[in-house]
């Protein structure tokens, strides 16, 4: 009787968020119901050696690859004490989820997707792994589906599958290092309805983003920060390195449309991740005090406005 050899699984067939890959070891993170770090049995996975070969062709510290039709964002880890090279790979989603699927409340979705919101800088902030890139991408996709036009994304490297047609809208993803210069160039690309910035991290990025927002363009961006107030402080600090404190504060009060800070909490009962959002509108009815705090640089006073808006959102949800 002929024995049928069991086909080995591939990485594509497994559920996980990250791979930590060395020359001899491999671990998965984000396995549903698994441990924080799950070791991989090298003999049981069909394509680990081929993945190492693909990674070995790149010498950059940060890059992206497409492997077996799955996109990964890769960080190369050098000079560890064992003298070997390691890689951290973040697996991209196969499709951009909706804001509803991510868990955004109806009140927040209504503001972010409003037809009246045609200009300003929308800032998604949070720690690494909080899902801010996913949320920002979901908003880009939704607005293109609702209102059409086209979006330009500036990323290093691109993470979500946004490139292409979304209902009546078009998204063009661009890999670029200098976001500030990219914003200036993007304004010449057929007057895009949306400019998406993968991450605000350099002074000129912030300066150009605020100026474009003040001049009537809609920008969506992410930034690393532990809270809305911390995000505002970081934007002021970065922008001030180019424009000075008072000018940056003027640009913030006139150009920022909203801050959205998010974190993912694990439900102890189900083990599922749940989105928690801290939201601050800067434009619209009742936001004069918020703009005043941004203009004066009294950023620590934004906390009361965040609480007030949250209470109104909770009341609206109960009605």
CATH number, domain containing residue 182? 3.40.50.300
Q: What is the per-residue pLDDT across 145-180, written as a single tens digit (0 to 9) for each? A: 999 999 999 998 888 899 999 999 999 999 998 999
Dihedrals phi, psi of 20, to nearest 5 degrees: -105, 115
Low-confidence ranges of the chain (pLDDT < 50): 1
Quote the tokens at residue 303.
């906390």
What is the predicted pLDDT for the residue at 195?
98
Q: What is the pLDDT of residues 171-210, one digit of tens each?
A: 999 999 899 999 999 999 999 999 999 999 999 999 999 9
Whether residue 49 sits in one domain with residue 187? no
Tell me: do 174 and 120 sit in the same domain: yes
Alpha helices in 130-258 (DSSP H): 132-147, 179-186, 203-214, 228-243, 245-255
| Parent domain of 50 | 11-91
pLDDT the model gives residue 5 = 55
Same domain, 154 and 130: yes
Per-residue buried b or exposed e for 238-270, using 16+ beta carbons within 10 Å of the residue's own CB: bbbebbeeeebbbbbbbbbbbbbbbbbeeeeee
Supply the pTM of this predicted model.
0.84
CA pair distance 7, 190, nearest whole angstrom: 50
Q: Which two tokens stand for residue 145?
A: 């589906």
What mean pLDDT is reported for the chain?
A: 91
CATH of the domain at 17: 3.30.450
Q: How many whole angstroms separate alpha carbon 216 and alpha carbon 210? A: 10
Among candidate residues 61, 91, 121, the one where a domain is terminated: 91
The pLDDT value given to residue 93: 82
Cis amide prior to 27 (ω within 30 degrees): no
Residue 6: inside a domain = no
Quick one: pLDDT at residue 239?
A: 97
Are residues 279 and 150 part of one domain?
yes
- Nearest Cα residue to 154 out of 184, 174, 178, 125: 174
- Domain assignment present for residue 262? The answer is yes
3-state secondary structure at position 249: helix
Confidence at residue 64, expressed as pLDDT on a 0 to 100 scale: 87
217 and 166 inside one domain: yes
Structural domain contains residue 1: no
Distance CA 174, CA 85 (A): 29
Same domain, 185 and 237: yes
Q: Which of 63, 91, 119 is the last residue of a domain?
A: 91
- Residue pair 236/297 in contact (Cβ under 8 Å)? The answer is yes
In a domain, 4, yes or no: no
Residue 8: per-residue pLDDT: 81
């Amino acid at each position: 009787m002929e024995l049928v050899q069991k086909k080995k699984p591939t990485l594509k067939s497994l559920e996980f968020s990250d791979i930590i890959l060395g020359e001899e070891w491999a671990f998965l993170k984000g396995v549903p119901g698994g441990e924080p770090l799950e070791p991989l049995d090298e003999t049981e996975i069909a394509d680990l050696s081929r993945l190492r070969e693909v990674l070995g062709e790149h010498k950059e510290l940060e890059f992206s690859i497409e492997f077996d039709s799955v996109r990964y964002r890769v960080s190369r880890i050098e000079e560890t004490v064992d003298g070997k090279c390691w890689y951290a790979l973040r697996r991209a989603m196969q499709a951009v989820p909706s804001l509803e699927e991510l868990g955004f409340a109806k009140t927040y979705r209504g503001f972010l997707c409003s037809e009246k919101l045609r200009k300003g800088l929308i800032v998604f902030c949070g720690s690494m792994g909080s899902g801010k890139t996913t949320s920002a991408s979901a908003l880009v996709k939704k607005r293109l589906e609702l209102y059409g036009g086209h979006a330009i994304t500036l990323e290093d490297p691109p993470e979500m599958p946004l490139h292409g047609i979304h209902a009546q809208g078009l998204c063009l993803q661009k890999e670029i290092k200098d976001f500030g210069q990219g914003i200036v160039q993007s304004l010449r690309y057929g007057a895009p309805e949306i400019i998406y910035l993968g991450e605000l991290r350099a002074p000129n990025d912030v300066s150009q983003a605020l100026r474009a927002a003040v001049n009537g363009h809609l920008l969506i961006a992410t930034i690393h920060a532990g809270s809305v107030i911390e995000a505002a402080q970081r934007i002021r600090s970065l922008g001030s390195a180019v424009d000075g404190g008072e000018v940056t504060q003027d640009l913030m009060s006139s150009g920022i449309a909203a801050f959205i800070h998010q974190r993912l909490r694990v439900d102890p009962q189900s083990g599922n991740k749940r989105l928690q959002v801290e939201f601050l509108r800067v434009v619209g009815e009742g936001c004069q005090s918020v703009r005043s705090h941004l203009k004066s640089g009294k950023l620590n006073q934004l906390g009361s406005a965040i609480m007030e808006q949250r209470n109104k959102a909770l009341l609206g949800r109960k009605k």
